[in-house]
Structure formats: C-alpha cells, structure tokens
Amino acid sequence: MRPEIAVLDIQGQYRVYTEFYRADAAEKTIILVNGSMATTASFAQTVKSLYPQFNVVLYDQPYAGRSKIHNRHEQMLTKEVEGQILLELIDHFAAEHVLSFSWGGAAALIALAHRPRRVEKAVISSFSPVINAPMRDYLERGVDYLGNLDRHGVGHLVNSTIGKHLPSLFKRFNYKHVSSLAEHEYGQMHFHISQVLHSDRLCYLKAARQIDVPVLFLNGEWDEYTSAEDAQLFGQYVANSSFSTLQATGHFLDMEHKAACRDSREAVVSFLKPARQASRLRYHQGQTQHAFAI
C-alpha cells in the first residue's frame, strides 16, 4: 500500500505535500484533514481503516510536515486560507468525502460552507463549537508554552490533556513530535490559538449554517475537551447532521485502542456507505438465521 506522492502548487502561493492511496476497486475518494501540530503520519491508522474501500488523500499544511521545506513561512495562515487550500485539493483529487480530526474541523467546516460541488458527505471528528472550561485551560496554557518556545511544556501538555488516553508508545511519539517542531510551527500554532481564544466562541456555527451535505459529528465518550455533548450544538445549524459517540474513548479516537479503532471505522463507513453496510448486515443476519435453522 504505497501512496502516489506529489507536491502541488496552490494558486501560486503555497506548495502542499500530498499522498494519494489509490484503490482500484474504490468508487469514492476521501480527503483527510489534520489537526493542529499533526502531519500525514498522524492518519496512519485511519488510512488502514478506510483503504481499500476508498481512495484516500492525505496532505500536510504548508507550514507542517513534508510541506514546510517547500514554503517560505513569511506569514501566518488563517483557518480561512486553510479552508481555501482544502477546496483546491478537493477539486484536484475529485474527492467526494471529507474527514477531519480535531482542529482540522475548522478548515473543513469553512471549506464545506462554500458548498464544493463534488463533496457528498463529511465526517467531523473530535471537534466542538464550544470552548468549554477544560479546552480553555488547555489553550491558555498552550499559548503560553508556545509563545515561550517551551518545548517540554508543549509536549507534556498535549500528553496530559487531550492525549491522556493514548497508549504509552503513542505518547512517546507524540512528545517527540510536538517538542521538536520548528519555531515557525510554534508561531503558527500560537497565532491560531490566540485567534480562537479571542474570537466569537461560536464562530464556526456561521460556517455550519451554509453546509448543504450530510455531516457526521464523531466524538469520544471520554473527551472532555471537544465533548460529544458540546458537539450536539451543531445539530441546530447543520441541516443534515448526525452524531456518534465512541464508547470508552478520548480525543484521539481510533489511535487509543483496538476497540476504538473498530468502532470508529464502523461509524465512518456505515455513514459514508449505508447501503453497503445494510447489505452486509442482512447477509450476516441471514447466516445467523441459517445457523439456528440447522
């Protein structure tokens, strides 16, 4: 399972590293949107869950991962710009589905609000329109550590808050990654968090009102930072919205344990391919009835 790798020019302003996992039997293409401080590597488990049922597209923001060596980092990127980049990639790869994780949900909602004609469905995971008390504490401490380039502080903060339910191995990888980012990446995260803290706490709902495709909001039962309860607020703004809560799971969902990986895959695939899931269910029910008949 090797991806087709390309560095794409986006409107002559940004260069974006992409990975395209092409599956011969797949009918649809899904593009995955990273969370804050994350790269394509963060979606390794998710790719395994979705491929080969879908063609899968991963990409790094211009300031991160394998995109950063191709860009000058002369100015901070707003979530609106990240939304525009996503729209360009949706068109380039002819993607019918979008799946975002954590703060990637902000760029995804902004892109979906433009009603891209190709997109049929979207999944917004581990995201909420509410800056609740735990999230505010996390962000306020984060902006302080980032501003002071406190690498140990950033790494420890992530693992002791949103990453506290991760296995120890993942926590070590997490710490190594977030504590070794370039200074411009810390600056970008500081800029973004500052915007979030000083903007309308329900600012993403304005974009949500414009979305005209079905959206599944997926949250972990144990995630106090982007809680399933807070995510329900999207139901008042996204006309065709549905909600799923993964049991015994925190913010990082499919990365936390095998059952969470299974439940996350089933929630996403049953939403994106309901007819196929119903067919499989009937098949298994038929097998069960036949077994009982014997």
Position 275 scores a pLDDT of: 66
Residue 215 in any domain: the answer is: yes
Q: What is the pLDDT of residues 93-120, one digit of tens each?
A: 999 999 999 999 999 999 999 999 999 9
Whether 185 is in a domain gets the answer: no
Assess if residue 258 is contained within a domain.
Answer: yes
How does pLDDT run across 63-85, given as a tens digit for each residue?
A: 999 999 999 999 999 999 999 99
The pTM of the full predicted model, rounded to 2 decimals, is 0.90
Which tokens belong to 60?
């790094």
Among 150, 189, 167, CA closest to 64:
189
Query: What is the 8-class DSSP label of residue 199?
Result: S
Give the per-residue pLDDT at 182. Answer: 93
In a domain, 170, yes or no: no
Domain extent for 126: 4-131+200-272
Low-confidence ranges of the chain (pLDDT < 70): 200-203, 275-294
pLDDT value for 196: 86
**Contact partners, residue 247, CB within 8 Å, separation at least 6:** 221, 263
pLDDT tens-place string over residues 272-292: 998 654 444 443 333 333 332
b/e burial code for range 190-217 (CB count within 10 A of at least 16 → b): bbbbeebeeeeeeebbebbeebebbbbb
- Report yes or no on 148 lying in a domain: no
Residue 280: what pLDDT? 47
Residue 12: inside a domain, yes or no? yes
| Nearest of 81, 79, 60, 100 to residue 182 by alpha carbon | 60
Find where tokens 């106090």 sit: 224
**Can you give the pLDDT at residue 11?**
87
How many separate domains does the chain show?
1
Distance between CA 1 and CA 48 in Å, rounded? 9
First and final C-alpha spacing in the chain = 41
Report which of 95, 63, 111, 47 is spatially closest to residue 261, judged by C-alpha positions: 47
Q: How far apart are CA 15 and CA 22, in angstroms?
A: 21
The answer to whether residue 140 sits within a structural domain is no
Residue 77 in domain? yes
**Residue 228 belongs to domain with CATH number:** 3.40.50.1820
